Amino acid sequence: MPTDIYSPANANAYVGFGKQAAKGSAIAPSYFAAFLGGVELNPNAGMRVIREGGTGPYIARHTKDLYVPGLKFGCAARPILAGAILAFLLGDDTISGASDPYTHTLTAATSNLWLTLERNVDDDLIERIVDSVLTEVTIDIRKRDQGAEVLLTAVGTGLTLDRPSATAESYESSRPFLRSDVASWSLDNAAETNVESATITLRWRYDEAISADAVTRLTLAKLHLEVEVQTVQVWSAAADKSAYVGTHYGTASGTAASATVYGSTTKAFEVDLSYTESAKARQLKVTIPAMEWTEAKVTEPDPEASQVGRLTRKGIMVKPSAGAAITVVSKSSLATAYDA
């Protein structure tokens, strides 16, 4: 009997994921993302075309070289879910607190947290990527008139594919963080009140082609952690001019081209989001102590201007002289560590 026509918006569809006890031990999802927009799951089977003598102008056959399955999804940043996604990307969670709210301090670890990533199309087609890792997470804090909620986009890859049965979904009830929940911004160790938006991209570079004599890869190995930040500020203070000049001239008072890279080694970037839920604190704070700013643009003079000037900057995380290169503090009702 043929499969019924289905709606991509059906209620059975879900994206779920969870931490495996060990490599090779797939699990049912323990976290479910109330995804926004389309979900992308691709088996990414590498195909090789083979031509042989005797087949003339025709292809003799195809072979599969390698499976590189991947999943991408976006969702609103809720306290527990945002903590899970960022913990699984970074790798280490230190939990404190005897009762709600619990504080999860997330930092980078060079070892893998092996995950299972799962996508349900309509209960007839469910695919599970086993022995997975998250390779990239983007935190998007937009101008409020472009979207009030803080958004996350996650990208993952894994070693093998599986076809499980459906798992009953359970979604977090806490509301997402809003743009108006920003308690504070800090750029170059100075409090800022003119930041309109920011995008923070965290990315682990992996050796993703470790293969033995099989169509599936042998393992995934972390190589480099990269963090990129882009901010947009309303041009309203002398510090904005100093930031622009420093990026291009090496120092805030520079007057000529310079090989010096403008940066900060004390709270180079920090954004603190927080709200109260039933008298309990909910927080998502990202701190990067050392950054180098690589790009800066200002709104150019324009006699037909329709808005005030902005400063757009891009920076890259570098290794600090001491301490963690990036720290994410997540406060929520979750009483267990994400990496437990």
- pLDDT at residue number 234: 97
Query: What are the pLDDT digits (tens) for 41-59?
Result: 999 988 999 999 999 999 9
User: Considering only CA atoms, which of 26, 175, 202 is closest in space to residue 114?
Assistant: 26
Give the Å distances, CA to CA, from 64 to 24, 218, 233. Answer: 22, 16, 49
Query: What are the pLDDT digits (tens) for 272-293?
Result: 999 999 999 999 999 999 999 9
Q: Mark the ranges of the chain whose per-residue pLDDT is less than 70.
A: 1-3
Q: How many CA atoms lie within 13 A of 40 on its CB side?
A: 10
Q: Which residues touch 127 (CB under 8 Å, ≥6 apart)?
A: 41, 43, 118, 119, 161, 162, 163
Per the rule left: phi > 0, alpha: psi between -120 and 50, beta: everything else, 338 is alpha
User: Considering only CA atoms, which of 37, 40, 58, 36 is closest in space to residue 49?
Assistant: 58
- pLDDT at residue number 1: 44
